[in-house]
Structure 1
Amino acid sequence: MKSHLVLVGALAGLVSSPALADASKFSHGPVIQGFGAVAKVDADLAIPANLDHKIAYDIGSGSPGTKSKGLDGVARLINMLAANGVPMSRIHPAVVVHNAALWDVTTDAKYTQQFGTANPNTELVKQLLAKGVPIYVCGQSAAMSDVAKADLIPGVKVALSAMNAHAILDSQGYSLNPF
C-alpha cells in the first residue's frame, strides 16, 4: 500500500512539474527576467497585504554545467509574488548555498577553471543580487573546495557555515522553504 502512495506522489510531482506541464501556461517576469517561470493561479488562500515574505532557501545540490533549480526557485518566488500584487518591499528571500551548489555562485573564471565552461548561473545570480536578495556561501564548504571570496560572483557573501547562516536568518524571522 505504501509503495502505491509513493508512486502516486511521484507521478503527481511529475505532472505538476513546469518542465512536463503545458509550457504555454508559464511565463517569466515581471521582476526576474528569463528565470523563475510562473503560471497564473485562481488561488483560494489570500495573500495578506501586510505580510513580509521572509523565506530562506537552502541550496546544497548542483550539477556542473546546468542551471540551478534552487536559484530558479528563488526567482520563481519573486516573480510569483510580484505578479500577484505583492510589492518588492515585502518580498525578502535569502539564499544559503553549500556543498556542490557552491559552484553555482562562483565567477566564470573559477567555474571555468573547475569545469571547463562558463557558469550558467551568473546572469540569474546577478539579477537576484540586483533585487537585494542576500546570497550566503557556507564558509566551511568554500574552504573544503578551495574557493576564496574573490572566486565568488561580486555581491555573494560568506557565512561561517550554512548552519550558522540558517540560525541567524531564523532569528531574524525567516521561514525555511521546504522545497
Structure 2
Amino acid sequence: MKRWLAVISTALVFSQGAVAGPEDFHSGGLIKDYGRFADVPAAKPLPADTRFKVAMDVVDGGVTGEVNSIFQIAAGFLNLQHANGISPENVEIALVVHGDAHRDLLNDAAYGGVNPNRELLGILQEYNVQVLYCGQNAVMRDVAAEDLLPGVEMTHSATTTHVLLQQQGYSLRP
C-alpha cells in the first residue's frame, strides 16, 4: 500500500510540476521570424565578451517547402546569445552542408520553385554565418556552383571542412 501511495504521489508531483512548454519559445531581437529559443532566468549570465565559434553539420533536410531545422537552430543560437548580452560579432557560425540538405542551398531555378531557405540563409549571412557546401556531394548530385544561392561556398568535402574548422577553433554542434 505504501508503495502505491509513493507512486501516485510522485506521479502527481511530476504532472503538476511541468509548467513550461513550446509556448515558452520565441524568436529574438536579431532574427525576428526565425530561430526560436526559451529564456532561462536561472542560468548563470555569460560575460559580455564571450566568443563562440560553432560548426553545425547539416546533412538532413531537402524537404520541399520546409525551412531546414539546422538553419533555424543557427538563427536561434544567434538570437539566444544576443538576448543574453553577447554581440553578434562575437558569434561565428559555419554551416557545413551535405547529404539531402543540398536542396536547401539551391537557387529557385534549380530548386524548382521558391526555395523556403533563401530568406533565412540571406539573413544568416548578414550575421557572417558561413554556408559551406561539400564539393563531393555536389559532384555526386550534379550540382554546379551556379545552381547555388548567393553566398554559398563550395568546399572540397564536408570532412575536410570540419577538420579545417576544428583547426581554427570551431566546436562541432552535430
What TM bracket, shorter-length normalisation?
Answer: 0.7 to 0.9
SS in structure 1 at match of 2:121:
helix
Q: 2:129 aligns with which of 123, 129, 133?
A: 133
Partner of 2:80: 80
CA distance in 2, matches of 1:28, 1:162: 29
The residue type equivalent to 1:53 in the other structure is F
For residues 28 and 52 of structure 1, what CA distance do their matches in structure 2 show?
Answer: 21
Alignment match of 2:118 (pick from 119, 122, 129): 122
Q: Count the aligned residue pairs.
A: 155
Tell me if the contact between 2:56 and 2:93 (Cα under 8 Å) persists in the aligned partners: yes
Counterpart code for 1:77: F
Matches within 5 A, 1:12-161: 21-23=21-23, 25-65=24-64, 66-112=66-112, 117-161=113-157
Deviations 1:145-169 (A, max 9, x none): 1111111111110110000110110
TM-fit CA distance, 1:63: 3.7
1:165 aligns with 2:164: no
Distance in 1 separating the partners of 2:70 and 2:47:
25
Task: Supply the distance in 2 between the matched residues of 1:106 and 1:63 (Cα, whole angstroms).
Answer: 10
- Within 2, Cα distance between the matches of 1:45 and 1:55? 20
Inter-partner Cα distance in structure 1 for 2:103 and 2:22: 31
- TM-score after normalising by structure 1: 0.81
Distance 1:89 1:80 in 2: 14
- SS of equivalent residue, structure 2 residue 104: helix
**Which residue is equivalent to 1:10?**
none
Rounded Cα–Cα distance in structure 1 between residues aligned with 2:42 and 2:57: 26
CA RMSD of aligned residues (A): 1.7
Aligned partners of 2:134 and 2:158 also within 8 Å? yes
Query: Partners in 1 of 2:114 and 2:165 — Cα distance?
Result: 31
* Runs (5+) with no aligned partner, structure 1: 1-15
C-alpha distance in structure 1 between counterparts of 2:162 and 2:168, whole Å: 10
Q: Could you tell which deviates more after superposition, 167-176 or 28-37? A: 28-37
Q: Which amino acid aligns with 2:136?
A: Q
Deviation at 1:46, TM superposition (A): 3.3
Equivalents in 1 of 2:94, 2:74: separation in Å?
8
Give the Å deviation of 1:44.
2.9
Question: How many percent identity over aligned positions?
Answer: 37
Q: TM-score, normalised by structure 2?
A: 0.83
